[in-house]
Amino acid sequence: MNFKIALIRGDGIGPEVVEEAVGVLETVGARFGHSYEWIDVLMGGCAYDAKGTPYPEGTKEACQRADAVLLGAVGGPKWDNLPPALRPEKALLAIRSDLGLYANLRPAALRPALKAACPLRSDIADKGFDLMLLRELTGGIYFGERKRYQTEDRGEEASDLMKYSEMEIERIGRRAFELARLRRKKVVSVDKANVLETSRLWRAVMHRLAAEYPDVAYSDMLVDNCAMQLVRDPSFFDVLVTENMFGDILSDEASMLTGSIGLLPSASIGDRTPGLYEPIHGSAPDIAGQDKANPVAAILSAAMMFRYSFRLAGEAAAIEKAVDLALSSGCRTADMAGSGAPLGTREMGKIIRGNI
């Protein structure tokens, strides 16, 4: 088959890890008989530098015309003092929203070769874990009205509005139950219903849905407790569904249990639009341009593209096996190397390609 893939290489380590993911896609293409049309799309700080805006005209349309989008990361200190509307992160939120990508799948699994890298107690690490964090991606506090104004007697004041509709909660909730049916049939919904009204609505909708999926075990959990339960024993979780900001924070936490944030991929999916695939990590300005970044998260994002956009599970599994083989033969980038000698980004990518 021929796939049209939009590439948003982005900033910092973004271009470095996307390059390795593209190499892996090419290798999988050669092995399984697929070809690609690559469409380079400008977005983020690099787009601001080139065009004066992080989200140039035509970026959205180019992504809409593609079969899938692969993104590295955007942002970095160079652009941190721009006005909010010109910040690279604003473009990231815009593309997610414009493509209707409300469901963000962030799998966090302890890869067999990395048990020793897991910071949890050894008896817990030995059990392993494999959870799917499902993050609502186009609503909540990320998209509510923001204000900043001067008061008469309290100095400056700022507010960010957190808002959710039943429709937004129901569609992500259904995704959670459907995903759980393909896994271990367990959903934990994470909220802050002891304080937030949005969470009380979230919980009410989830309970209504749970009644429609009696074959799936359902429970609620408060987000502070969830942060603790994740580091106590992540094997408790199968599908964890939560709102936008809680999902952002909990997924970085979960990543470290797998050994490094450089390992975790994500898929952002809507109803009828191309999916967007990206590592959960950022542009890592501290290591950018040094051939130090771990390309595995981007490479596993390419595997998710095969699984969720192209519905080709064999190709996805081939990539995942190639990553596991590299890890079990001791290949480690600096973020995972401990006191051992680390491999560079390009070398790691080359070994994974060779394993396919």
Q: How many CA atoms lie less than 13 Å away from 277 in the CB half-sphere?
A: 31
C-alpha–C-alpha distance, residues 173 and 203, integer Å: 10
* 226-265 positions binding ligand NAD, by CB under 6 A: 261-262
CA dist., res. 184 & res. 14, Å (int)? 34
CB of 262 to Mg ion, least distance (A): 13
CB 136 within 8 A of CB 172: yes
Q: What are the E-state strand segments in 203-295? A: 217-222, 239-242, 267-269, 275-277
Nearer Cβ to ligand IPM (79/218): 79
Single out the catalytic residue among 67, 248, 324, 350. 248
User: Which residue ranges make up the annotated binding site for Mg(2+)?
Assistant: 224, 248, 252
- Find the catalytic residue in 40, 49, 126, 224: 224
Quick one: 141 or 337, whose CB is closer to Mg ion? 141
Alpha carbon of residue 87 to chain centroid: 20
Query: Residue 140 in contact with residue 243, Cβ under 8 Å?
Result: yes
- Binding piece for ligand NAD, criterion CB under 6 A, among 105-113, 217-225, 267-275, 289-297: 289-297
Of 67, 98, 160, 252, which one is the catalytic site residue?
252
Positions touching ligand IPM (CB under 6 A) are 75, 89, 92, 248, 280, 282
76 binds, among ligand IPM, Mg ion, ligand NAD, none (CB under 5 to 8 A by kind): ligand NAD
Residue nearest to ligand NAD (CB): 282
Q: Are the beta carbons of 30 and 292 closer than 8 angstroms?
A: no
Residues 230-269 that bind Mg ion (CB under 5 A): 248
* Cα 108 off chain centre by: 10
* Residues in 268-287 at the binding interface with ligand NAD, rule: CB under 6 A: 278, 281-287
Region of 269 on the Ramachandran plot (φ > 0 left; ψ -120 to 50 alpha; else beta): beta
For residue 218, indicate whether it is catalytic: no
Distance, in Å, from the CA atom of 228 to the CA atom of 251, rounded to the nearest integer, reads 13
Among 294, 301, 309, 355, binds ligand NAD (CB under 6 A): 294
Active site residue 248: yes
Amino acid letter, 282: G
Chain residues 314-343 in contact with ligand NAD, contact rule CB under 6 A = 335
Our answer to whether residue 271 is catalytic in this structure is no
Least distance (Å) from Mg ion to the CB of residue 349?
A: 23
Distance between CA 135 and CA 251 in Å, rounded? 9
Is 163 tagged catalytic?
no
Residues within the interface to Mg ion (CB under 5 A): 248
Q: Give the catalytic positions in this structure.
A: 142, 192, 224, 248, 252
